[in-house]
């Protein structure tokens, strides 16, 4: 296993995130930075039930580009924007060369994090089978060079986490 240099970094500045993420997202650094700065303002507003800003903020009044945020904040931002989590934030990278045979379930941690993110933003599917299919599709998009586990394997691996996040289900009378 090869670790990214940022695997254990806890905080990054908005500017650092924009500079690393913009090429991957195929966006200008200035646009990415501005989106992150607005998010620093809007995320707390949304949590207070105020809604996002409706008017532009002068550049000099936006948060400092050197303001630091943590990985959880960035994942929350991605969820609210419906953007893919940047590769430098995903944690682990695995070597391309493997021994012959079916690869192991290398992305279990990332799948559990995606399951929790989906639950947090209200995207959890109504059934475990449907959720496993959604996570399988997410895995195909996120790790295009790997062979992801089947939906059945995902169901078995994440059954307890899904039940915990789904909460008690109402019983319908027969």
Tens digit of each residue's pLDDT (9 = 90 or more) over 131-171: 999 988 888 887 777 777 788 888 888 888 898 888 776 54
* Sequence-separated (6 or more) residues with CB below 8 Å from residue 13: 65, 66, 67, 68, 69
Please count the structural domains in the chain.
2
Residue closest to 112 by CA, chosen among 75, 145, 82 = 75
Q: What is the pLDDT of residues 86-130, one digit of tens each?
A: 877 765 444 333 334 444 555 566 778 888 889 999 999 999 999
Answer whether 122's CB lies under 8 Å from 61's CB: no
The count of other CB atoms within 10 Å of the CB of residue 168 is 6
Note whether residue 98 is domain-resident.
Answer: no
Last residue in a domain, options 39, 59, 89 = 89
- Domain boundary pick from 89, 124, 152: 89
- The reply to whether 171 falls in a domain is no
| Residue 118 sits in the same domain as residue 78 | no
Q: ∠ CA(81), CA(120), CA(90), 5° rounding?
A: 65
Same domain, 137 and 74: no
Structural domain range at position 130: 103-166
Task: Give the span between the Cα atoms of 118 and 116, in whole angstroms.
Answer: 5
The model's pTM is: 0.50
């Amino acid at each position: 296993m090869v670790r990214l240099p940022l695997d254990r970094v806890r905080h990054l500045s908005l500017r650092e995130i924009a500079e690393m993420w913009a090429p991957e997202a195929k966006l200008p650094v200035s646009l990415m930075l501005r989106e992150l700065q607005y998010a620093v303002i809007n995320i707390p507003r949304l949590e207070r039930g105020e809604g996002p800003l409706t008017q532009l903020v002068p550049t000099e009044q936006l948060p400092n580009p050197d303001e630091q945020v943590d990985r959880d904040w960035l994942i929350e931002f991605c969820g609210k924007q419906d953007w893919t989590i940047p590769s430098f934030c995903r944690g682990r990278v695995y070597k391309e060369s493997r021994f012959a045979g079916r690869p192991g379930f290398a992305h279990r941690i990332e799948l559990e994090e995606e399951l929790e993110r989906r639950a947090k933003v209200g995207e959890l599917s109504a059934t475990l089978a449907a959720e496993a299919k959604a996570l399988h599709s997410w895995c195909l998009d996120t790790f295009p060079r790997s062979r992801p586990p089947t939906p059945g394997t995902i169901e078995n691996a994440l059954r307890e986490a899904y039940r915990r996040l789904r909460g008690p289900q109402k019983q319908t009378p027969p």
